[in-house]
Amino acid sequence: MAGYILRRLAFLPLTLLIVALATFIVLRLTGNPVDIFLDINRTPEQVTALTQRLHLDQPLPVQFLIFLRDLLHGDFGESLQFSGSAAGVVWDRLGATLQLAGAGLALALILGIAGGIACAVWRDRAVDAAISSIAVAGQSMPSFWLGILLIEFFALQLHWLPTSGYGDLRHLVLPAVTLAAILMPNFTLITRTAVIELMSEQFVVTGRSKGLSRARVLATHILPNAVNPVLSFLGIQIGTLMAGSIVTETIYAWPGVGRLLINSIGHRDVPVVEASVFAIAIIIALSNLVVDVLQMLIDPRIHRG
């Protein structure tokens, strides 16, 4: 296992290099950040100073090499909006993003797995039809529209929760529910399918024939084997989770990396955009590594060297 983890970590720089190249190309193709960041009253001296500060006076290959050199030292440059280290600005927002993503993922896993088990246990009954219908509808529901509905009902009509912002637990409820709604339907359907397939396996039939209760068979034979499909799907959906957090943070004015990224794109704050993209890429890569390790620990049959 240690060898597998080391090999995965060894490939992380290559992943980040590809992210760096893609981010660099996209930002350069969208125009000159100097023209967007400075207003019409700019002076030639201001244009020259900002151009040199962003190394835009150098050829593109040289700009990319300078960017890679700074990246090796964890230096993304100075933020154009905040007049400070871009990496420091992103680091200050990272905690809020991890808090929201963790709460949304935990809620999606708990409710999704519980719903999937209920659908499988009461297959082809009213419970199965109701939960499956809600899951399918949830897959078709845009997160920004759901967020607006939740704000309208729970914040503006009932006055139970705040409309936006960051603070105590009450501020986390609506963003976490909105983010969880993106993944929860998929977890429900994946769990339902996995449990139904396992119910017809020979070891389950043998357990029932020995007089084990349905609840015990479910807890000791079916669920441990149904975890791997859910974990595999979780690894695939980490990117969806982070993309959903960007939209959710924007809706609820949540001060995380996602909202910072959107604002920085609008202001053409290139250093912060690059630092934000790298932070999200690292979270996704490390999360997938954690999921793979968990699969190896839960199922000894999985061996990756």
Least confident of 73-87, 141-155, 264-278, 290-304: 290-304
The token pair that represents 151 in the structure block? 């704000």
SS3 184: helix
**Mind listing the pLDDT tens digit for each residue in 45-85?**
888 887 887 778 888 888 888 888 888 888 888 887 887 88
Q: Between these two residues, 1 and 267, which has the higher pLDDT value? A: 267
- CATH fold, domain 86-298, is MetI-like fold (1.10.3720)
The token pair that represents 203 in the structure block? 């070891």
Q: What percent of the chain has pLDDT over 90?
A: 13
Report yes or no on whether pTM surpasses 0.85. no
DSSP string for 102-135: HHHHHHHHHHHHHHHHHHHHTTTSHHHHHHHHHH
Q: Between these two residues, 225 and 261, which has the higher pLDDT value? A: 261
**Mind listing the pLDDT tens digit for each residue in 136-177?**
777 777 888 888 888 988 988 888 888 888 878 889 999 999
Mean pLDDT of 14-36: 79
Query: What's the mean pLDDT when you consider all of the chain?
Result: 83
The per-residue pLDDT for 97 is 92
Distance, in Å, from the CA atom of 234 to the CA atom of 278, rounded to the nearest integer, reads: 21
Q: List the domain boundaries for the chain.
A: 2-72, 86-298
Closest CA to 224 of 202, 204, 205: 204
Q: Between these two residues, 117 and 213, which has the higher pLDDT value? A: 117
Mean pLDDT of 192-204: 82
Whether the pLDDT of residue 305 is over 70: the answer is no
The per-residue pLDDT for 1 is 62
Q: What percent of the chain has pLDDT over 70?
A: 95
What is the chain's percent helix, strand, coil content, to nearest 5? 80, 0, 20
Whether the pLDDT of residue 33 is over 90: the answer is no
Distance, in Å, from the CA atom of 134 to the CA atom of 304, rounded to the nearest integer, reads: 38
The per-residue pLDDT for 304 is 52
